[in-house]
Structure 1
Amino acid sequence: MTTPGRGHLHKFLADSVQRGATHAIVEITSEGIKQWRHFGILFDVLVYTNITPEHTERHGSFIKYKRTKLSLLKALKPHFKSTCGGVVLWNASDSELWKERSTFTQYANQGVYIKPSENDKNPFIGINYQLAKCVASQLHVTADLDDEEKFLPGRFELFRANPSVLVDYAHTPRAVEMCLEAARKLTSGKLIHVFGAAGGGRDSWKRPILAQLSEQYADVQILTEENSFDEPVRTIISNIQKGFSKNAEVYIEYKREEAIKKAFSLAKKYDLIVCTAKGSEVVIAGPRRSKRPYNERNFVTQCLHINQH
């Protein structure tokens, strides 16, 4: 879920080449860029899906965060060294990326904007999977993108049952909005949203915004822990609550497992439970650098099994 530390990414790529790999797709985070975890690696292709506020406390401001993300362009391979010619693919639907279109042409041999079609019949619901399909077509990647069994673990992963459960890694306002907007189309029943927010000074400004978005798209909100670090879960939840209206149907369960159990107790046959933020993570980070083992995908599977019997 983040860029490996310096040396680890390089070793992974070197080992992959030894095993015969010819291509690698790497996610580079803003913190990874800032800490030079990608140092010495040149990219044939860079893909920018969106730029929205995140980690602003660490970067100092959104402008500095954006500048950091765009600095990755300096790691684009020069044309004479690249089989692709130094390509930048960017999402034309994102307003911040649109503002930087001249920046992309400055660094790239080819600057291609991508925009998903509203008529796309791809069974992967959601704009991110449509963007992935656009990227694949631009790079001439041959893959069966119409097989809905190929969801990435914890990335808009749907567990079909009655009720169904959706597990996603979304934790920024934009990502949560896109997730809930797409999830809304999957159910004729109620949408029950289980979520929290990270502690430790991580983007605390977004907490009431997450509440507003959840109330806009979901029918029921269940607040719980995410990764609290050294900040009390009660404080985080209290901050989130400030974004709700008086009409919101909100429940609070401080332990994430109990929150999901609560969601199952409220859900009816055709409802959809959406759990955001944890995705495929396998721990919950707590105080004093503690890490409690927790796998949301496995826990949801257990709950579904119990619920069906």
Structure 2
Amino acid sequence: MKFAELIRPWIKGEIPDCEILGLHNDSRQIKPGFLFFAYPGAATDGRLFIAQALEAGASALIYEPENWSAASQLPSEIPSVALPGLADKLAEIAERFYREPTKKLVVSGVTGTNGKTTIAYQLAQAHALLGERSAYIGTIGQGEVSALQTLANTTPDALCLQELMYSYEQQAIKQVCMEVSSHALCQHRVDNIDFQQAIFTNLSHEHLDYHQTMEAYAAAKAKLFAKPTLKWSIVNHDDKCSALMRAAVQSGQIISYGIQEGADVRALRWEVSLAGTQLEIASPWGQYQMRIKALGFFNIYNALAVFSSLVAYGYPVEQVVSVMAKLQAAPGRMEIVAQEPYAIVDYAHSPDALENVLATLQKVKKGKILVVFGCGGDRDRTKRPIMGKIASQYADIAIITSDNPRTEDPLAIIDAIEAGISVKNNLYKIPDREQAIAKALSLADKDDIVLVAGKGHEDYQQIGKTRHSFSDQAVIRRIMN
């Protein structure tokens, strides 16, 4: 696309022209013919790397002029354009460059504190099983579920996201099921994505280091439901924030799900075991018996959301019920890695998620419950004692260890978690995560359950600014073999 054609909506007057072959805001990813976007970000200022982008072959530059005194030193070799508020316009520019890819796709967005990954991942699985090519975007990667590739963020930045959507359209993928984080909604990453479905899971204590208050956190989530392209909004009837999501809806129909009276799609009865969950559900389309492989009370909600989304889209209900029984859990989500003792890995890293998982295991246990967990460094500190309290309430033995300590002192994080624990008879503090897992497995009898929580699918541990190779699943298998 020509540079002038691309930026004509924002720039008046004569625009120097050249061919644009790609877009990027990272000078290290620039290739010959790319347009480089230079603006201040959370960690660094892209305007400091204009020379590197030019050296890599950038053919044009758009920069943020506000609070920048070096504009007079811009290179003369390539067209350079100032665009105030550039960061908030990236999605619109990228959508224009990639020729509005989401208008040719069916995009479902899932937002909430817990359950996003499971719902989006299983939705993508289900569409594929029902005969439509689908892609997933979220915490565990992007692409077709059989061949996921890694991502840096739950929701990629606006440039990457539009490029992904374009690549899916070129591959004849029809369905895109993506997690939508509150950060992405606030930072305009999902602007100019034509969502047809929005799904709300729940809202609980998380990301207050960013949003400051629960009210601001909830308002961020509600932005997804204000999208004018929505045909369906699917909300958790039982969550206290569902009314806020409903109030934000501007178009389409609303379907509620839950277990309480008044939900459109409602679980009437259920039976949970380590082998899975049997459900009886009532819906506007009839009453059905449904089996899912996932265990856990919270997975009942996830299943109801997936079921509602698929039927709303138009699949025959009987086919949806059949497919639900085939869906695999997302990696690191109540993943049973070994038996005798049961060793389960889960991504639970918020107070609500940890409580949900431990409460579920209490209902299916035959022996003791041992939990190994920590809290991430450089993240919300207020949740640490809360998670300590929850672990001590539900687990017979708690082992506090390191999660991703990042630049914080691991022992200081552990002490903050311990502050929430009043009875410390069966408490261990082992900063080395592998040693902590080994200790839990050595203490467990064959009928016990060892829950390793917090990292789930992650294959690394971040200590300082370095990511070291580390997998909870691999450690468990190595120790138990």
Q: What is the rounded CA distance, in whole Å, between the counterparts of 1:118 and 1:208 in structure 2?
A: 35
Per-residue displacement from partner, 1:228-252 (whole Å, max 9, x unpaired)?
1111010000011111122541111
Q: For 2:222, which of 60, 66, 70 is the aligned residue?
A: 70
CA distance in 2, matches of 1:128, 1:263: 25
Higher strand share: 2
Give the 3-state SS of the residue equivalent to 1:285 in structure 2. strand
Secondary structure of 1:129's counterpart equals helix
Distance apart, 1:107 and its partner CA: 2.0
Kept in 1, the 8 Å contact 2:205–2:383? The answer is: no
Cα pair distance change 1:256/1:250, threshold 3 Å: same
* Contact persistence 1:44–1:76 (CA under 8 A): no
Decide whether the 8 Å contact of 1:215 with 1:248 is kept in 2: no
Task: Determine if the alignment matches structure 1 residue 103 to structure 2 residue 247.
Answer: yes
For the residues of structure 1 that align with 2:450 and 2:388, how far apart are their CA atoms? 16
User: Which of residues 345, 356, 360 in structure 2 aligns to 1:167?
Assistant: 345
Structure 1 position 153 matched with structure 2 position 331: yes
Pick one of 386, 401, 406 that aligns with 1:229: 406
SS at match of 1:24: strand
**Deviation per residue, 1:112-146 (Å, 9 max, x gap):** 11014252313422234222321232222536222
Q: CA deviation at 1:109?
A: 1.8
Distance 1:136 1:292 in 2: 35
1:40–1:252 Cα change, 3 Å: same
Deviations 1:32-75 (A, max 9, x none): 22222212102111000101121112112221111111112233
Residue 171 of structure 1: CA displacement?
0.7
Please tell me whether residue 144 in structure 1 is matched to residue 328 in structure 2. Answer: no
Q: Could you say which residue in structure 1 is the equivalent of 2:475?
A: 299
What's 1:187 paired with? 365
Aligned to 1:90: 235
Distance 1:177 1:76 in 2: 36
Please tell me whether the aligned partners of residues 198 and 232 of structure 2 are also in contact (alpha carbons under 8 angstroms). yes
Aligned residues: 293
Q: TM-score, normalised by structure 2?
A: 0.58
> Percent identity among equivalent residues?
27
Give the CA deviation at 1:6.
2.6
Contact 1:45 1:76 in 2 (8 A): no
Distance in 2, Cα, partners of 1:286 & 1:72: 34
Compared CA separation, residues 191 and 76, structure 1 to 2 (3 A):
farther
Secondary structure of 2:300's aligned partner: helix
Q: Over the residues paired in the alignment, what is the CA RMSD in angstroms?
A: 1.8
Q: Which has the larger radius of gyration?
A: 2
**Secondary structure of the equivalent of 2:256?**
strand
Q: Deviations over 1:49-102 (max 9, x none)?
A: 101121112112221111111112233515xxxxxxx211111121222x4264
Deviations for 1:179-201, whole angstroms, at most 9, x for unmatched residues?
1111222321000000001111x
Does the Cα contact within 8 Å between 2:392 and 2:423 map onto a contact in 1?
no
Residue 323 of structure 2 aligns with an amino acid whose one-letter code is: D
Measured in 2, the distance between the counterparts of 1:59 and 1:190 equals: 37
The residue aligned with 1:82 is none
Pick the aligned partner of 1:58 from 210, 224, 238: 210
Distance (whole Å) between structure 2 residues aligned to residue 159 and residue 146 of structure 1 = 20
Structure 1 residue 293 displacement after superposition = 1.2
Give the 5 Å matches for 1:1-309: 1=139, 2-77=154-229, 86-97=231-242, 99-100=243-244, 102-104=246-248, 106-116=249-259, 117=267, 119-120=269-270, 121=278, 122=291, 123-138=293-308, 139-140=310-311, 142=320, 144-147=323-326, 150-200=328-378, 202-287=379-464, 289-305=465-481
Unmatched 5+ residue regions in structure 1?
Answer: 79-85
Contact 2:402–2:432 (CA<8 Å) still a contact in 1?
A: yes
TM-score normalised by the chain length of structure 1: 0.89
